[in-house]
Structure 1
Amino acid sequence: MTVDQQRRTGPPAPRRRSRRDEILQIAVGLFASRGYHGVSMDDIGSAAGVTGPALYHHFAGKEAMLVAALIPVSESLLHGGRDRVAAHPDDASAALADLIDFHVDFALANPAVIALHLHELDRLPEEPRRQIRRLQRLYVEEWVGVLARLRPGLDAAEARVLAHAAFGLMNSTPFLGGEVERRRRAALLREAAAAALTGGGQPVA
């Protein structure tokens, strides 16, 4: 496609969500609000406007929905974290700020997924649960590597403590109400995570 053609046609349209994606989002919301055992396939089908046979065309069952919800999220966090660290090879402070921004944006956009992970991960069979745990450990190590560069006095175990403390702060979004508007919530979460990780903190924008 030529430049002139691009100008005439404009940017490509965003990918339309598939019916499968829509059903999965509905299932995640129900699992997060009612608990895994409090939701049946019939409940999901009813909420999605899908009959039983059509629902099973997309997913073998609730367990398959959990796997489909949690593994791609863990993969996306790892890849996104690696990209942000790689973007700042010589500036650990910038890498950490980018990681915090990335995770806060994720946490604010996906509170139901976070709640699902916190409360329902153990429902998964051993193999997908092990895969998710491995992806999470690799993601944590991206943070640990940046902290080691930024605070050389910390050993790896201490850096992991700080990383997990920061995740606890940032992953609090399922428990936050709407009293504070989203941009301000993001600023507060960024400040709290930065303070936990650096011992200082940054002004709230």
Structure 2
Amino acid sequence: MTTRTDAPTRREQILKEAARLFAERGFHGVGVDEIGAAVGISGPGLYRHFPGKDAMLAELLVGISERLLNGGRLRVEEAAPDPDPQALLAALIDGHIDFALDDRPLITLHDRELDRLRDSDRKLVRQLQRQYVELWVTVVRELHRDVPESEARAAVHAVFGLLNSTPHLGSYGSDLPGRTATETLLRRLAHGAFASLAG
């Protein structure tokens, strides 16, 4: 899977800083002037890129759901035409770990602010998330053919909960492991959770 190395656009810079600030202080605790200052432009200058904070929040939450789904689909396509379910599941886990470590503010934002989206945007996020879950469920059931679909789906949700716990790592005064150590730990725990389906 190719990785983009281009410098972020101004729009992407705005979204990154908005996500960080919203996650730190809450959606209503951040003004457009603060977001603008974080990227070196005036608050009103943001309106050349977004009509307001609501639009930023929608693009952040819809955008990450689209990115996860598209990344998962790409891994499935790259594994075709004769995929190894174990290798494909490993690729899906690694992709989600990258998200969980690189986009922690978006996890916090989703947990706290999803209900602030317009109904249409919230429904779109949920639809994209369901498709992403079902992509994983299909791979898990290829690997564990005797496992009922409902159990496979519950396992996928449980692993997402595990991987998406990264914003809480290092809380309560504990030391946060380095990235490599955290990747290794999350990978081992996720694979262990799915392996337990065979027992």
Match of 1:78 among 55, 64, 69: 69
Query: For residues 86 and 14 of structure 1, what CA distance do their matches in structure 2 show?
Result: 22
**How far 1:22 sits from its partner (Å)?**
0.9
Conserved 8 A contact 2:141-2:152: yes
Query: For residues 176 and 140 of structure 2, what CA distance do their matches in structure 1 show?
Result: 33
**1:104 and 2:97 equivalent?**
yes
**How far 1:42 sits from its partner (Å)?**
2.3
Conserved 8 A contact 2:144-2:197: no
**1:131 and 2:124 equivalent?**
yes
Match of 1:92 among 85, 93, 107: 85
Residue equivalent to 2:10: 19
**1:173 and 2:170 equivalent?**
no
**CA 103–61 in structure 1, closer or farther in 2 if over 3 Å, else same:** same
Residue equivalent to 1:53: 44
Conserved 8 A contact 1:81-1:139: yes
Q: Which amino acid aligns with 2:59?
A: A
1:165-194 Cα shifts (integer Å, max 9, x gaps): 000111111111253110010000011111
Residue equivalent to 1:119: 112
Residue equivalent to 1:3: none
Q: Which amino acid aligns with 1:112?
A: P
Q: Gaps (5+ residues) in structure 2?
A: none
4+ long deviations beyond 4 Å? none
Conserved 8 A contact 2:33-2:44: no
**CA 29–156 in structure 1, closer or farther in 2 if over 3 Å, else same:** same
Query: For residues 14 and 188 of structure 1, what CA distance do their matches in structure 2 show?
Result: 27
**How far 1:53 sits from its partner (Å)?**
2.2
Conserved 8 A contact 1:87-1:95: no
- Structure showing greater Rg: 1
**1:42 and 2:39 equivalent?**
no
Give the stretch that moved more between structures: 124-133 or 81-90.
Answer: 81-90
1:1-24 Cα shifts (integer Å, max 9, x gaps): xxxxxxxxxxxx942211111111
**1:195 and 2:192 equivalent?**
yes
Query: For residues 24 and 159 of structure 2, what CA distance do their matches in structure 1 show?
Result: 24
Query: For residues 70 and 82 of structure 1, what CA distance do their matches in structure 2 show?
Result: 19
* Partner SS, residue 48 of structure 2: helix
1:63-120 Cα shifts (integer Å, max 9, x gaps): 1001111222111111111122233343111111111111101111111111111111
**1:62 and 2:68 equivalent?**
no
Q: Give me the TM-score of the superposition, normalised by structure 1.
A: 0.86
Q: Which amino acid aligns with 2:189?
A: A
1:18-70 Cα shifts (integer Å, max 9, x gaps): 11111111111000111112112222223333213211111111110011112
**How far 1:200 sits from its partner (Å)?**
7.6
How many residue pairs match? The answer is 189
Q: Give me the TM-score of the superposition, normalised by structure 2.
A: 0.89
